[in-house]
Structure 1
Amino acid sequence: MNIYIITGGSRGLGAAFVSATLRDSNKVISIARTRNEELDKLQSKRVGKFIQCQFDISNIKELDALIDQILDDNDIIQASTITLINNAGILHPMKPAESCTAEEFQHILAVNTLAPMALTAAFLRKTAKFGGEKYILNISSGAGNTSYHGWAAYSTTKAALNRFTQSVAFEEEGKDNPAKIISLAPGVVDTDMQEEIRNSNEDNFKGIERFRKLKNYGHLSNPNDVAYKALQWLIDEQCENGGIYDIRNL
C-alpha cells in the first residue's frame, strides 16, 4: 500500500493527483476546504481507499494535529511509500504590492508557504521511524524564479517555498532514511486558477494578455497529464533531492 496526502485535492491539479494515485491498494487523503462528489464516485470504480478531509490549511496551528489524525499508525506500518503533495495555493492578491493589505499578505503566505512548511514538518515527525520511501512534492511556480507585475505576493510565496525545499533536503542528508523533497513548477495548466488569471484586472496584472493567448491558442496543459508526469519524475533516479524543477524542462 502507498499513502498519498494531497492538499487542494478537490479540484484542478489536486483532483488530477487524486485520480492518478487512487488505484491498486493505495490510500489517498485529500485535504481541501470543499468536497468533490465526483471524486467520491471515482472511488467506487477504483480499488484504493479515498478520504476527503475538509479543512482550511490557513489554520496553521492545527496542521500538526491534522497530520497526526489522518496518518494512522497502523497504515504507516503497512505502507511501502508515503507521499505528501503540497499542491494547494492561491493567487490573490493579484495587484502591485503598494495596493495590498497586511491581511492579504498574511493570508497568501499562510496558504502558499506557511502551510506547506508546517505540513512538511509534521509529516517528517510523524514518519521519522518509517522504514519505507518518503516523498514530499511541493507544487511551485515559474513565478518563484521570475517577477511579474502584480504578482509580488504570489512570486514571493513560491520563491520562499523553493528555498524551504532546498533547506529541508539539506537537513535530511545523513539520516538513515531521508525523505526526498522537491519543488516542481507545473507550467500553465488548464484549471480554475488560469481562469482567475484571465479574468483579473489588466491594470493590476500587466501580463494578462499572455495568459489569454495561451488559452486561445490551446497551449494549456491537461492537469491529468501534468499530475502523471510529476509523480513519475518524483520517483525517478535522476530527480535529485532538493531539486527545483519546471515540468516543461523535463
Structure 2
Amino acid sequence: MERGHFVITGTSKGIGEQLAALLLDLGHRVYGIARGASERLQSYGNYVHRTFDLNDITAIESLIEGIVNEVNINNSKIFCLINNAAMLEPLKPIDRCTATEIQQHLQISLAAPMVLTSSFIRYTQDMDIRRKIINITSGSGTYPAPGMSAYCTAKAGINMFTQCVGAEQANHARPVEIIAVDPGMVETGLQAAARGKDEQDFGMGKYFKQAYEAGQVQPVESLGRHLLKIIENEFSPGRLVHYADMEP
C-alpha cells in the first residue's frame, strides 16, 4: 500500500487501536481521535493523538481543520478518514431509555461521523490526492433487534448517510470514495459488554454468548488485516461493503 495519512476515531481500544497499529507498522501517519489514549500507539513516532469527546459535535470542524492543516501530502497517495468510534449502550427496551441516553448515543454514533465526514470533505477538497472515508457499520443496521433500538437506528443511519454522500460524490471530477464496512462479529469491548448483560434486561445477550461459544466472533487482529485490503482496493462511492465480500 502506498504511504498515506489516516484519521481514525476510537483508537484507544478495539478495532480502532488494532487498525491504527497495523497502519503505523506499514509507515503511514495516523491521527487518532479518542477520549482516552492508547499506550500501545503512543510508542510510535508516526502517531498523533487528539484527546477529544465526540459528543461535542460543534467542535469537530475545528478539530478536523487543524489536522488537515498539519498534513503534508507530498509523496503520499491517500488521505483517509475512518469513522470507527461508536456507543453500544443503551441496551434495553426504548421505553426504559432516557432522553439523555438516546441523545448521547446518536451524537457519538451518528451525528459525529456525519460532521466528521462533512468537515473532511470540505477541508480536503483542494488536495490532489486520493481521498477515502470508511464508516464502520454493522449488520444491526439492517436487522432489527429488541433492546438495541438506538444502536440499530444509528447504524441504519450510517448506511443511508454513506449512500447519500456517495450519490453526491459520484459526479465529481475527483470524488471522495466513501464506503460503509460491516466487519461482522468482532471480539471487542462492545461484544463483551453485550454478552455480560443480564438476560432479563437484554434478551439478545444470549445470542451474543452463543455466537461467541460457537467461534463465530473473529479476533480483532484478523479484521485489521482485512480492513487493510479494503483500504487498498477501490470501491464506487456509497458502497456498503460486507466482510464476506472480499477475501483478506
Structure 2 length-normalised TM: 0.93
AA aligned to 2:36 is: T
**2:159 maps to which residue?**
162
Question: 2-side partners of 1:165 and 1:3: how far apart?
Answer: 21
Q: State whether structure 2 residue 208 is matched by structure 1 residue 211.
A: yes
Question: 1-side partners of 2:222 and 2:232: how far apart?
Answer: 16
**2:13 maps to which residue?**
11
Question: 2-side partners of 1:234 and 1:2: how far apart?
Answer: 11
Q: Is the 8 A contact 1:91 1:154 kept in 2?
A: yes
**1:34 maps to which residue?**
36
Q: CA deviation at 1:203?
A: 2.3
Q: CA deviation at 1:13?
A: 0.5
Q: State whether structure 2 residue 239 is matched by structure 1 residue 248.
A: no
Question: 2-side partners of 1:73 and 1:31: how far apart?
Answer: 15
**73-82 or 15-24, which deviates more:** 73-82
Aligned ranges 1:177-196 → 2 under 5 Å: 177-196=174-193
Question: 1-side partners of 2:133 and 2:71: how far apart?
Answer: 21
Secondary structure of residue in 2 paired with 1:148: coil
Segments of structure 1 that go 5 or more residues without pairing to the other structure are none
Segments of structure 2 that go 5 or more residues without pairing to the other structure are none
Aligned ranges 1:194-233 → 2 under 5 Å: 194-233=191-230
Instruction: Give the aligned length.
Output: 244
1:215-242 deviations in Å (ceiling 9; x for gaps): 22332211121122123124324x3321
Question: 2-side partners of 1:212 and 1:25: how far apart?
Answer: 37
1:24-54 deviations in Å (ceiling 9; x for gaps): 442101100001112223x26xxxx101111
**2:126 maps to which residue?**
129
Aligned ranges 1:30-179 → 2 under 5 Å: 30-41=32-43, 43=44, 49-72=46-69, 75-179=72-176
Q: Is the 8 A contact 1:20 1:224 kept in 2?
A: no
Q: Is the 8 A contact 1:186 1:246 kept in 2?
A: yes
Identical positions, percent: 32
**221-230 or 105-114, which deviates more:** 221-230
Question: 2-side partners of 1:100 and 1:131: how far apart?
Answer: 46
Q: CA deviation at 1:57?
A: 0.8
AA aligned to 2:244 is: R
Secondary structure of residue in 2 paired with 1:88: coil
Q: Is the 8 A contact 1:31 1:54 kept in 2?
A: yes
**18-27 or 81-90, which deviates more:** 18-27
Structure 1 runs (4+) deviating above 4 angstroms are none
Q: CA deviation at 1:72?
A: 2.4
1:128-156 deviations in Å (ceiling 9; x for gaps): 01111100000001000000110011100
Question: 2-side partners of 1:112 and 1:232: how far apart?
Answer: 24
State the Cα RMSD in Å.
1.5
Secondary structure of residue in 1 paired with 2:25: coil
Structure 1 length-normalised TM: 0.92
Q: CA deviation at 1:209?
A: 1.1
Distance 1:91 1:24, change over 3 A: closer
Question: 2-side partners of 1:244 and 1:109: how far apart?
Answer: 20
